[in-house]
């Protein structure tokens, strides 16, 4: 009889502890969501538009570079000829990425050129813009290194003016 009472008391204790622990987790979850909503609201529409403008300025730095132009010249025709749909350039990670998703955060602006086919997406080139030293790089897969490439440095004026706000 004592053993049954002891087992019942043990089960009751576990149940109470479990419920209490779930309530603490729920409270933490609610507090976390409230904090995140407050942080999200603190990013004003103006700030978001400025971040998008900065990303567009960096994309312009890339897409006007001689290396990008050389790689993409006639690429649309080649992709279609090979049964593809189109090619594009995508900002994969950026210093602003952490405000949207941690997995999108990087100290640099990381782009990739891709070819889109019905059944797959083929990444063909990778580029990176370092905002600290204001240098554009192409990723050399054979040597696993970043190679500095030329770009229109007058576009840095636009980038710098957007980045100060």
The total domain count for the chain is: 1
123-156 pLDDT, tens digit each: 999 999 999 999 999 999 999 999 999 999 999 9
The per-residue pLDDT for 18 is 58
Structural domain including 83 reads 44-163
Percent of the chain with pLDDT over 70: 68
Pairing assessment for the beta strands 86-93 and 145-149 based on DSSP bridges: unpaired
Residue 34: pLDDT band (50, 70, 90) is very low
Instruction: Please state, in angstroms and rounded to a whole number, the distance separating the CA atoms of residues 90 and 88.
Output: 7
Q: 29 lies in a domain?
A: no
What does pTM read for this prediction? 0.68
Q: 148 lies in a domain?
A: yes
The per-residue pLDDT for 106 is 86
Q: 34 lies in a domain?
A: no
Would you give the end-to-end CA distance of the chain in angstroms? 75
Q: 147 lies in a domain?
A: yes
Percent of the chain with pLDDT over 90: 57
The answer to whether residues 37 and 138 touch, using CB atoms and an 8 Å cutoff, is no
Residue 76: pLDDT band (50, 70, 90) is very high
Q: 96 lies in a domain?
A: yes
CATH number at residue 63: 3.10.450
Q: 131 lies in a domain?
A: yes
Q: What's the mean pLDDT in 96-106? A: 66
Q: 153 lies in a domain?
A: yes
Q: Which residues pair with 87 in a beta bridge?
A: 115
Instruction: Please state, in angstroms and rounded to a whole number, the distance separating the CA atoms of residues 67 and 113.
Output: 12
The answer to whether residues 115 and 81 touch, using CB atoms and an 8 Å cutoff, is no
Q: 4 lies in a domain?
A: no
């Amino acid at each position: 009889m004592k053993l049954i009472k002891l087992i019942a008391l043990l089960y009751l204790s576990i149940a109470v502890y479990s419920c209490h622990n779930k309530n603490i987790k729920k409270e933490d979850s609610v507090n976390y969501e409230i904090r995140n909503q407050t942080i999200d609201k603190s990013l004003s529409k103006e700030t978001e538009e400025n971040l998008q403008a900065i990303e567009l300025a960096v994309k312009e730095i890339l897409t006007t570079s001689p290396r990008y132009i050389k790689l993409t010249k006639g690429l649309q025709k080649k992709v279609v000829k090979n049964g593809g749909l189109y090619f594009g350039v995508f900002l994969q990670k950026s210093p602003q990425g952490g405000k949207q998703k941690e997995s999108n955060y990087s100290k640099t602006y990381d782009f990739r050129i891709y070819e889109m086919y019905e059944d797959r997406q083929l990444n063909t080139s990778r580029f990176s813009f370092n905002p600290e030293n204001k240098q554009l790089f192409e990723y050399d897969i054979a040597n696993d290194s970043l190679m500095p490439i030329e770009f229109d440095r007058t576009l840095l004026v636009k980038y710098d003016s957007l980045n100060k706000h």
